[in-house]
Every structure is written in C-alpha cells, then in structure tokens.
Structure 1
C-alpha cells in the first residue's frame, strides 16, 4: 500500500487564542499539487506554517520524502511577505529609511543575498540565471534589499524557492505584488518545477493557476475540505452599510494643484530610477498608476507623500508649494491618506484595531494621545462600516492578514484627506473584501476626493478612475484619459 506524501491527523491549532484548525485530517498523495483557498481568516496560513514546522500544533503531520529523488528532502514555506534584515541581523527599519542611500548600505545587495543562499544550500549560481531572467529580476543584482518594493521582495523569495526546488514547496499568496507578465512567467516556472518532482501547495484564491494544480481544497469550520474548484462566491457578502456622514463631505482643498513634477530625476549611485518625469494631478482627479515591477512606481509615490530625500533636488510642487520651501514632511502628510504594502510592513503590530485606525488622524504608526469625543465617534463609525466591531479591541497582529489590511485602509481615510494614495491596497484581501473596499473608494471619490491608485488588474479597480499614467523603466510611457469626468 502506497503511503501519502503528506499525512495529517487530528491537527488542532490556535491563532492568538482562537481555534482555527480543529481535528483536521488530510492526505496529499505523491505527485499531487494543491491550491488551498477560502475566506480570509479561516486558517490557511496557519495550516501552511504547521506543515512547514514553523508553528506549534497538536496532532500529527508526517511527510514521506522520496529518498531516491535528487531534490532536497525538505519543506520550504514562502510567506506572503518577507521581512529582510540588515547586516547586523536587525529587521526593525522605519518607513522612510528605504529611500535613504546611506542607510541602504547597511543591507545586502540582491546578488550578495543570492550568493549567501547558494552557499547555504549548495546551489550553483549559473542555475539561478534563467529564473531571474524569467521573472524580470536580472537587473536588480546590485540593488540593496531595503530599496526593493514589496513585489520585488516577493520575486526574490520566489527566485530562491525555484532555485532550491525542494520536494514540497508551499507558497502563501504567490502572486501578491506581481505584475501580469510576472504572474504568467511564474506559472510556467512552477509547472517546470512540478515536472521535475516538486510538489506544490499554493495558498490563494487566484483563478489563473499553473496547469500542475489539479486539486483544490478550502478550510471550512476548522477542517480541510476538497472541492472541485476555488469559488469566489463562497465568500460572505459584506452587508450594505451607509458610509459615515463625515466622509460624505468633500475635502477642503488647500490648492487646485495637488502634484506637479517638472523633469524629475531620481538616481541611486549610477542607477537611475526615474527619468525626466513630468506629471500633474489636479484636485478631484482620479488617477491609476501602473507599470511592471521595478518600473519606478514606489519611488514616484515616495516623492508625492514626502518621504524621498531627493525631492529637494527636483522641481516638485505638492499642494501648491514647491518642495523645500519650508514645509516639513508632517505638513505634507496632513493632506494625504496613504496605504501601501511597505507601510504595512513598518506599522506597529502591537496597537489595537481602534488605536491603529485612530492614529490616522495624526499620521503616526500608533496612537500616542487621547482623542476628543468627535474624533472617537468617527473611529467607531468607520469600524462599524468596515465590519470590525468584534475586533476593535484586538491587537492588529492578532488578526488575519486580510483584516489587518482593512484596518489600515480604514486608517487611511479617517481624516477625509485631500489626496488618497492607495498603493495596491487590496493585497491580502479576498475577492469579496476587494469589491467591498473599491465600492467605498467609489463612494468617497464621488464627493470630490483626489485619488492615486496603484493596481495591476483592471478587474480589481474602482470604477471612478478617470486617468492613467504608465511607467516603463523609470520613464512615463503613457498618460491618457480613460473615463471622461462628469
């Protein structure tokens, strides 16, 4: 009788004192590759980490590695985000630090990271080149880890995983932060790996999966249930709750000119990241910012939200004032509501849900002062709107990733800002949560708010977007109107 490759029996696991997996039984046969989907918070990541031996659990998990195979007899888990460290082993960077070249020298380059990983795992560097090429990552060899965007960090972890080719590869949210071309190429690489004997478990709800994924499962009531396909309709529809009154009011604009860039250039040493950027954003406009991973989107946004130190060396106007005319970074941030994957990395995970949302009034990463009654009421209204009432006193890091994103999205809009910057805001959200948030964005922007929205997929965007700017290798490739304003 053949033994299953993965055999799980009576698995029980709690996440921050909440039972998520209960008496779970599952067999994964030799040669199978799975996609595990379902609603956010059901325990998908917890199960993946348990199989990889990264979290404590009760019960039995057995992996029957093939001793005849040339592939490493190990389970490799690629998390949805990767927290890198500097040369001294420290991971607690602050948000603006990634744009400061002096600080960047404290982290390894991509090439040095790969050399170190190759030595640790006994791999040859020449074998990683085709993977780097396929994922469009060859040009990042000299980049410091701290300079990479979330999508670029994701690519680096995928590169290392596909280079290693373990017998069991588990990838949590494999497509997070990747552009369309990178997603397609990743699926080709995953099919190639499966053809060489790698068995895959992909934790995601994405419809466009590699051909080798022929088995599907969802966690329902703490147990893993095999399904014919991953259906987004299984998500619970968010109740229709009217937007809070304080967010129905149009923002009070300090200037009709929100952003103006004239021949803006940004370089790190000899590497030019932005080249002769000319771009204007007027009050009330809704922009879509697009471009492949590494095209310069994150750097462009860092100029807009006041984080990039090289903004002083360029002709850049924010809210009617030239950058460097005496305003502080906090003066700029008073006008802006921001959410991005990078900001999520650096946010204080020990703040409660209520404190996290309230901190948006003061542009801090935690709440350090008492809120007046009116603002406290607004926090409560927004918590109700987002369906977070039961979680309001929980710690941010005790929530599943999807709900953490909703908390930070609520924080972003709490002060009804003049400019809303949403940099891939729906990473980590399931399809229903994505629709719910984008409906909120549409409601907000109908009252005159200015929007810059970064997203790779037109099917996951708000309908209010009017204009589009496309970056390619640091240059403006396209500026166009896609929806005539009324």
Structure 2
C-alpha cells in the first residue's frame, strides 16, 4: 500500500496566541482532492500555511511526494491576498496610488513578474499562454502590478500556480474576485492539472467546484471533520437576530440634490489604453443599483471616480450630489457623504489599527484613528461592534484577525456614519455563508431609510434583496441598464 501524500497527527496550532487547531489529524491519499470549508476564523488558513511550511516546519506534518512524477515535488500555497513590492523593494502602498502615473513607473509589469517566476521554477514562458488566455489575462501583460484590481491580482497568482503544476496545490479562497466566466474556466483548468497528477486542496465555501473534488472537510472546535456534500448546507438558525443599531434607523436626509450621480460621455484613458468609454449613467437619491461586469470591465475605475479618488474626474462632465466635479468641493467633502468598502480598500488599510480604531475611523475616512472622536461617535462604534459580534476583538489589531473578521470590521466602518451613498464593492469576500446572509439583511434594513446603494457582486444569490436596477459594463462601455425583472431600458447597439 502506498504512503499517503499528507499525514498529519495531533497537530496543535495557535493563531495570534489563541488555540485554533487541537490534536488535529488528517490523512490525504493519492488521487484525493479536498474541499476545506466552514466558518470564518475556524483555522483553515492556519492549517494550509502549516502544510505549506510557511514560517515554520512541523514534525507532525508528513508530506510524501511521488518520486516518479515529473511534476515539481513541492506544496504550493496561493494565499487570498498577494503582497507585492515595487522595484525598490517597498510594499507600503496607499489606496489612491494605483491612479498615480509615477507609481506605475516604479512597479514591475505582469510580464516581468511572470518571467521572474518562470526563471525561478525553470518554466517555459510559452506554456503560460494557455492559462493566460483561459483566464482572460493575456492583454494585461504590459500592465504594472499596482494597476491591477483585486480580481486581476487573484488571476495572476492562479496563473502562476496553474503554470507550475505542483504535486500538491493549496488554493485559499480561489474564487474571490473572479467573474462568472473566469470561475468556470478556472474549474476547467483545475480539472486538467488534476488529470495530470496535481492534487488539490481548495479552501472555499463556494458550491460550483471542479469535478475532481472528491472529499470534503471542515474544521470544528479545532479538529478536522469529514462531511458529505449535503452537510455543506448552512441553516440560518444562528443568524443574528439582534436589532439594528438605533442610529442606523434614522432616515438619511439628502442635503443637496435628488440626483446623486450624473455622468455624461465620461472617458478615462491611460496613454493609448481607454478604460472607460462614453459612460452615461444617472443615479437618483434612494435608488439601489447593482454594478455588474467581468474582471477588467472598468468597474473599479468607475467607482474611483465616484469616490473622488481618480484625478481624471475633473476632465469629464461628471456631477456628484448635484455639483459638477471641480466646482470647488474638496475630496473630503465628497467622502464624508459616502460609505465605501472594496477589496482594494481592505488591501491597503492600516493593519496596525485596532478593530475599534478601524471602525471609528470611518467617520473621518482615514486609515486608522488620529483624534478623539467624542462621545456620540464612540457610542455608535460600540453599537456596531456588538451588532457584528466583535466584542471580544474590540482591542485586537486588524492584522491579528482572520480575514472574515477583518472584513466584518471594515463593513462596520463603512456604515458607522450612516452615509447618504453606500458603495459596496464585493463586500462579502472572505465571509462565510451566515455572515453574508447577516450583512445583506442589514443592507436591506439600511436601504429602507433612504440610503442610495451601489453594490458590486458577481452572483445574484449574494446580493441584497433591495436591489432595483442593474448597470452592466463590458470592455469599458455600458452594455445595458435595466430595471430588474423587467425588459432593459437601455441597451448598447
């Protein structure tokens, strides 16, 4: 009988000094491809990093590679976040930096990053083309790393892993940030490398998986428990039935105009590359929109205009809260009326702030807290901490939290000032199913009080029920605008 590929016995691990894995046992035999699912913060990522030998090696984790295989005898781990450095070795980027021309000149291109990876692992660059094409990434070879959206960064890391074809591949939340077609193509590619001998461990709560996944497990109370596909269904019995914090029940008063956004023939270009082309869009106060589009369609750029982060807003016919951009308002006057969360904001957020500091910083649109907020702001922050179940983490640093709890803290930060306009760009990345249900119910409650909403999400099942209208971007242009459940009211010819 052949040795198991992975054999773990009585593994005990802590995350930030707190026990998460307790006498965990796990055996992975050849030809087994596993899905590791379950609640946020249960220890899935901690286990994955331990198996990949990141930071430390463990004597009770035994990896047995196939010495007859031509595939690299390594465990390759793809994290949910990709931390890159500029050409000078610095990694302390800030949120608006991706729109700064000078910054794009000091970060490597996608092609240079891939060439460096290929050289390190003795890979032929030509062999990457199939993966690049399948994930719709070929056109981004000349883009710099800082210009990529979160979904594009995810694709870059997946390209590397699929190109490498290691004997054991661990993917942490591989579908986060990917559009529908990219997810489908990723599953096809994962099936293909599985057929060639790569064994997979996917950390995910998604349901559409490659056919090669034949074992499922979750971590409960620090131990690994194998389950069936039917047992993956989460019930809503534990969904928080706490009352919405009182200050969020206040009706949002629009102090300027019934028109929140008006764009007339808006165009955005970087050199010869046109990212947005002739965008016409009007959002009235109290409307609830979903913004759809494939990775690279221009969604992030469009949102950056609205939030005041993109310098080319002033060169376009663009009105926000009834005022033409560039008519005298400051970026901070704009931001005080907007609540924003996005994968990019999370990526660049100050990880050294505590949960409490991070949430209260939403009043000031800062990354971290730099002043005494006063009694009422402190009280609202405490209400949200309790509502999101973060009481035990109030004074914990953000970088000491599991990803899902970091995201909950940033969601609380987004709504702490009960803003006129909520922009939620894939807000539930990293959340488990119960947390997603909980948050979307809260969004539905907020939007009863006159809040204007723009929600970005790739799947209908993951968006709030209050959504009324949809705008679809395709290659930087408006493909369609429609009232949901009705015929399109505007369609691109």
Partner residue in 2 for 1:34: 34
Deviation at 1:395, TM superposition (A): 1.4
Q: How many Å separate the matches in 1 of 2:237 and 2:40? A: 10
Q: Distance in 1 between matches of 2:335 and 2:156?
A: 31
1:292 aligned residue (283, 291, 294): 294
Deviation string, structure 1 residues 392-430 (Cα, Å, up to 9, x no partner): 121112211111111000000000111000000000001
The equivalences for 1:198-237 within 5 A come to: 198-229=198-229, 231-233=232-234, 237=238
Please state whether the residue corresponding to 1:462 is helix, strand or coil: coil
How many Å separate the matches in 1 of 2:334 and 2:33?
Answer: 49
- What is the alpha-carbon distance in structure 2 between the residues aligned to residue 292 and residue 239 of structure 1? 33
How many residues matched? 484
Pairwise mapping of residues 308-347 of structure 1 onto structure 2 (< 5 A)?
A: 308-347=310-349
Of residues 250, 265, 269, the one that matches 2:271 is: 269
Contact 2:11–2:23 (CA under 8 A) maintained in structure 1: yes
Aligned to 1:245: 246
Q: Tell whether 2:375 aligns with 1:373.
A: yes
CA shift, 1:252, in A, is 2.2
Q: Please list, as runs of the form range in 1=range in 2, the aligned pairs for 1:37-56 lying within 5 A after superposition.
A: 37-56=37-56
- Distance in 1, matches of 2:63 and 2:321, equals 58
Distance in 2 of aligned mates of 1:99 and 1:236: 44
Structure 2: tracts of 5 or more residues without a match: 487-493
Aligned to 2:411: 409
- The structure-2 alpha-carbon separation of the partners of 1:235 and 1:56, relative to structure 1 and needing over 3 Å to count, comes to farther
Give the equivalent residue in structure 2 for 1:83.
Answer: 83
Matched residues in 1 for 2:207 and 2:122: separation? Answer: 35
Q: Which residue of 2 aligns with 1:22?
A: 22
1:56 Cα offset (Å): 3.4
Residue 391 (structure 1) shift: 1.5
Counterparts of 1:136-151 in structure 2, within 5 Å, are 136-151=136-151
TM-score (norm 1): 0.98
Q: Which moved more, 1:109-118 or 1:43-52?
A: 109-118
Once the two structures are superposed, what CA deviation does each residue of 1:246-276 show, in whole Å capped at 9, x if it has no partner?
Answer: 1111222122111111111111111110001
**Alignment correspondent of 2:362:** 360
Q: 23-32 or 223-232: which moved more? A: 223-232
Quote the RMSD (CA, aligned, Å).
1.3
Task: Give, in whole Å, the separation in 2 of the partners of 1:151 and 1:281.
Answer: 26
Deviations 1:87-131 (A, max 9, x none): 112111000001112211111111111111111111111111111
Distance verdict in 2 for CA 1:236–1:345, change over 3 Å:
farther
Return the offset for 1:239.
Answer: 2.4
Alignment deviations for residues 154-200 of structure 1 (CA, whole Å, 9 cap, x no partner): 00000010000000100000100001111010000000000000000
Confirm whether residue 60 of structure 1 aligns to residue 60 of structure 2.
yes
Instruction: Determine the structure 1 residue equivalent to 2:489.
Output: none
1:236, 1:432 within 8 Å by CA — same for their partners in 2? no
Structure 1 alignment gaps of length 5 or more: none
Q: From the superposition, tell whether residues 236 and 4 of structure 1 become closer, same or farther in structure 2 (CA, over 3 Å).
A: farther
